[in-house]
Structure 1
Amino acid sequence: MINPNLARQHNELYKLLAEMKSLGYNIESNADKIALNINLLAGKINIHLQSEDKYLYSLLLNSQHTEVRKIAKDFIAEMGHIAKTFNEFKIKFNTKNKILNNINEFKLEYPKIMNAISNRLNKEDKKLYVLL
C-alpha cells in the first residue's frame, strides 16, 4: 500500500503543475507568478524526494525480489537526471527578471521540464507505487 503522504504529495504536485501550465500561456503577464511557482515546486519536489527515500526506496531496495530492486534502482537513476535538470532550470528562471530577460529560452525549456516532471509522477503512480 502506498504511503498516504506520498499520494498526497503527488496530488499537490499535479495541482501545482496544472496551475503552472495554465500560467505558461501568457508568460510575460504571469512571470512573477511563474517564478513563485518554480520556487514552490522546487520545495515540494525536495520534500517529496526525501519522503520517497525514507518510505519508498528503502523498502523497495531491500525487497526479496530482484526485479523490484532493479526497478527501484532504475527509478532512482532516472530521478537523479530529472532533479538535476530541474535544479538547473530553477537556477536560471527562479525570478521574474530571469524569466523575462531570457524569455525565448524560457519558452523552450518551460514546457519540457513541466512535462518531464508530470510524466515522472505518472510513471511512479503506474509502475512504482504498485510494487508496494
Structure 2
Amino acid sequence: MFGLFSSKSRDNKDTEKDASGTSGRRTIKYDPSLILSLKNDHHELVNIFQRIWSEGFEKQNFRQLSELLSVFKSTFQAHLIKENVSFYVYLEQSLVNDRHTLQIVKDFRTDMNDIANAVIQFCKRYSRGTLSREELIRFKSDYEQIGEALTRRVSLEEKELYTLYNPS
C-alpha cells in the first residue's frame, strides 16, 4: 500500500540510495519527451493566466475568477512537481562533476521556489469569490507583477535552462 513512495516501485529509478541518502549512480532516467511536456505546461499556464484577467477580472465575474485561480494554482503546482522531480533531479545528477553549472541550476531552482510561493499566495488571496474595492485595486498590481515574473521565468527556462537537459 505504501510502496507508492518506494524507489523500487518507480519505473524511472535505476538505483536505491544508500544509508547516507545518496548514491553515486543516477536515480532518474532521461525522458526525451520531458522538455516538450514542460513547454506544453507553460503554454497552458499562460493561457489560464490570461483567462484570469479576461474572463474573471475584466468582466468582474468573481466566480469565474475564483475558478480560474484554482485551476491555475493546481496546474502550476503539478508543473512544479514534474519539474522538481524529473527535471531538476536529473540535472543535478548529471552535473555532479560540473560544480559551476550545478550551482547555476540550484540557483534557478531556488528562484523558482520563491516565485512559486508568490504565485500560490496570489491564487489563495484572490480566490475567495468576492473582492473588496481595495482588493480589486491591489489585484491589478499583483496580477501584473506575477505575470512579469512568470513571463521572465518561462523565457529563461525555455531559452537557457532547458538546453542543459540532455542524455548522458
Same fold (TM over 0.5): yes
Q: How far off its partner does 1:5 sit?
A: 2.3
> Which of 117, 123, 131 is 1:90 aligned to?
123
Q: How far off its partner does 1:121 sit?
A: 1.4
User: What 5-or-longer segments of structure 1 have no aligned partner?
Assistant: none
Alignment check: 8 A CA contact 2:56 2:63 kept: no
In 1: Cα distance, 2:64 partner to 2:134 partner: 16
Q: Letter of the aligned partner of 2:125 in structure 1?
A: K
Q: How far off its partner does 1:67 sit?
A: 2.9
Runs of 4+ in 1 over 6 A off after TM superposition: none
Q: Secondary structure of the equivalent of 1:85? A: helix
More deviation, 13-22/37-46: 13-22
Q: How far off its partner does 1:95 sit?
A: 2.5
Q: How many residues align?
A: 131
Alignment check: 8 A CA contact 1:42 1:90 kept: yes
> Which of 38, 41, 44 is 2:75 aligned to?
44
Q: How far off its partner does 1:118 sit?
A: 2.3
In 1: Cα distance, 2:65 partner to 2:124 partner: 13
Task: Among all aligned residue pairs of Structure 1 and Structure 2, give the percentage whose two residues are the same amino acid.
Answer: 24
Alignment check: 8 A CA contact 1:20 1:37 kept: yes
More deviation, 97-106/58-67: 97-106
RMSD: 2.2
The structure where helix makes up a greater share of residues is: 1
Q: Quick check: which has more Rg, 1 or 2?
A: 2
Q: Letter of the aligned partner of 2:164 in structure 1?
A: L
Q: How far off its partner does 1:98 sit?
A: 3.5
Taking structure 2 as the reference length, the TM-score comes to 0.68
In 1: Cα distance, 2:40 partner to 2:145 partner: 24
In 2: Cα distance, 1:72 partner to 1:99 partner: 41
Taking structure 1 as the reference length, the TM-score comes to 0.84
In 2: Cα distance, 1:27 partner to 1:100 partner: 15
In 1: Cα distance, 2:74 partner to 2:135 partner: 23
Instruction: Output one character per residue of 1:37-85: Cα deviation in whole Å (capped at 9) or x when no partner.
Output: 1111110111011101111101111213223211211111111111111
In 1: Cα distance, 2:153 partner to 2:132 partner: 24
| 2:62 is aligned with 1:61 | no
